Structure 1
């Protein structure tokens, strides 16, 4: 891919006007120049003083190079000027080297005369030859005239019945379509983009020059996929016959439908407003028919459904050789049709980049002032290298006193910033009910836990956990770190905020309780409700506190309960009969009562407990698959295992007081360890 293309940000002019002064300066070209300036097109019109001898000046040379479009006005005496012919050669060189747009105008001349150098153009070149211009120069001029005349342009005789004013308006219309294809605004401070841009440019350059290349950029919301795609687009869009950046495909599909996106794609690439698509099927055929011979650049930003790709860029064969398609998405699964070398995982910012981006927005500098350094580092660490969080929070903290920073950050740890929450929650909203439940369980209760433990626990709750975890990983809401499941802190906090908003003022009415202070308030105040499904008591959060089982009485839908080290007394029949997973490590009770509701219990972990007798009748535990009584040093006998057909994992490791083993243990054929 051509990397020598001038960036649009370095161009000085929209249009360079090339013309024969004595033919059109005081009429047609003057009127055209006036209208171009009137509509805001930055136009360069040369002056006779810039023409020196037989060679165009350096200033003219530079003006041609720094113009996006060159308009060449071929009039009867155009070829009589060696300056005009040299300008034309230079213009066509820029077209080849810099992909400059060249638009010829045939003003009262026949395009075939320009193309074949006959009539007045042939006569003019004959006179040039008599002026002893060399054969090499003559051949360059002829080749340039032929090439320019073969380009799509305007013939005054065939447009608007020869009316110059209407003719000029048609030119203005096309020029505006060209110049309005401007670079995209990327970011106020584009920090940390360079290495990613270089990586993707290498992906786009790989393979055969004439192949249609596709690259997918995936990552969690707010990581900078769109910013990166815009930066790439700006670097390369002028290397193509046409280009289109379709932003917010997800939301625009919901709002306008796929047909409107197909229309925009066609109209923007072909610089037209003529396409009025009736159906997605018709749009597909139009894209194939009209873009099949075009070298195009298409960016589909924020794709969230296969139908969007199917309707807009399904097959590489739809587009001309050398085309490039860039797709950004939160869902890596949508890119399964691409090769592994065509997928780029957007990266979080490193510590230095994160500090620079945050500081630019918070302090308008590359590092925090000394008195703010500690507070700034806390916020930067909280942001986890996520550009969205760094930009949003940097702007949020800008201009605040040190005291205000402390108050705001304390609030932030409990309630995420609404702008960050809004962007990240888009990914959550796109999940099915099963996957949403698994996501919220992990954010509130199982962040950083073993994947096997999470899978086993949530499968016990009736979820399709393996499928949900796979989806969450593909959508960059969850990562596997060795055997553990982890999330970026802003993503985890997004999930916890969803739960908080279920009942902002009354934590006892939320589906999941995990915050130590809120758990303490709910249990000690008996404020629980039927809404509570998951309850996690942090170890030692209620150390020394004795609770009545009545604190759990209203939580009739409780399915996951983690009460390690907690002392509870009372009638255990009051506990939820829906409990599937119970962790009660360090249980201070001497025995487990027989009336414990365990019919649906799948996992029971009582590691390191003081229990001496296990009074629970395992015949009632028809669903129990795992029982962990390891390190229960006071345990004297094993339970009776008759009827325990589901039990697969059993542990009595380091039970030093164990003297009596019930003979039914020999019938546990399904136990693995």
Structure 2
């Protein structure tokens, strides 16, 4: 056998092995109404010249079943291609630091079954084009939220070999406009009809295809509020499967009627709002804010450390279709922006994360958040980006390992309370902190390496009332401190390196208390304001 023949045999064996070992994705639990939609998509994918590369865009609002459709299509036809890849949650992944690089790397690794290091999106796009240009591939890009994601992963038909099929799901039809009309087809799935809606709802609520007669009218009433969206039918059906009291169903119907007809996610929120168990609420919010995509066992171990008995509560959340485990990873059934919109307080204290959230908050803005607690997050070395919290009033960062603060902290114009106590690695503050025009209390106590205040500290003159610097390593206060005309309490106790106090202190006409106990190096006390009530040594 010659070298060419040997290589041909080797390639044929490898290709056959890849196809035989291709693992199908997990199918949907209840496929009501799915068959006709899948068949239509398969027709669109096949209705073209065999050698052509085709892009198919599936677009529609969240919850319509786009991911379910492409999952079933993938399982049906992936074996007909030399290579296949299903990339899910593209929009969310792309919003993470280096998210595009990660997606490109995942694509190439999935196709060629080996690790590839990608340094930047441009290099990744070049590699995709070079490596996939002669291969027929079935590529699913699920939940694309911006055209830049498509540009980086499937920028043109010439990136792929003949017969390739690239299917994109998106909520934004504009994302597909970058693909030339001759090279793309577009499908907009329709809502389930009434018969399909009744069957799907019954499957989730009663584990049967047909509704019991004594629940038929109530079910009809509830189903009419869902607009035939499979996700809404599944979530509400799962929740009501735990409640057989008709009065609860009637109450649910009344609540649903109060939500605007087009506010689908408002309807889905009701399942969360009706959770009676605070631990399940906490676990859901933990998962939604921190653990999407994490391995199930890792998340369970964290919840066990919190004393949650997570396996029991996790099953309850899964039964209510609020949480989902897919490929041993945690996912949520509600839209990924659901949990941010109305949260007023978020407590992540004692967390072991190194990064509180990514820096891309355009789609995940906590518009209503007023209190954020990150106390004693001992591995939090990098300051979070605070741009996404326009109404934040109280921020707890005490006990963290922060070396500095993110420049964006100056955008928190409604912040009245900032606790940085026991941040033992913090050495100084950025000037941007002096733009906090509403800040009333600033705590820096026990920041043992802290040595320097910004010279512009006086810019807080219209707001700052309490300033706690005890047990810091500060050596001197800038003259700008004397501009803090609203300041009432200044705690400098046990500041063992403090040598001088500024003469401008006498201008602080609201100052009532100066605490200097434990001082060892202070050379003199300047003239103090007449408003002073107590000077404590």
What is the TM-score with the length of structure 2 in the denominator? 0.47
- Bigger helix fraction: 1
Taking structure 1 as the reference length, the TM-score comes to: 0.38
Query: If you compute each CA radius of gyration, which structure gives the higher value, 1 or 2?
Result: 1
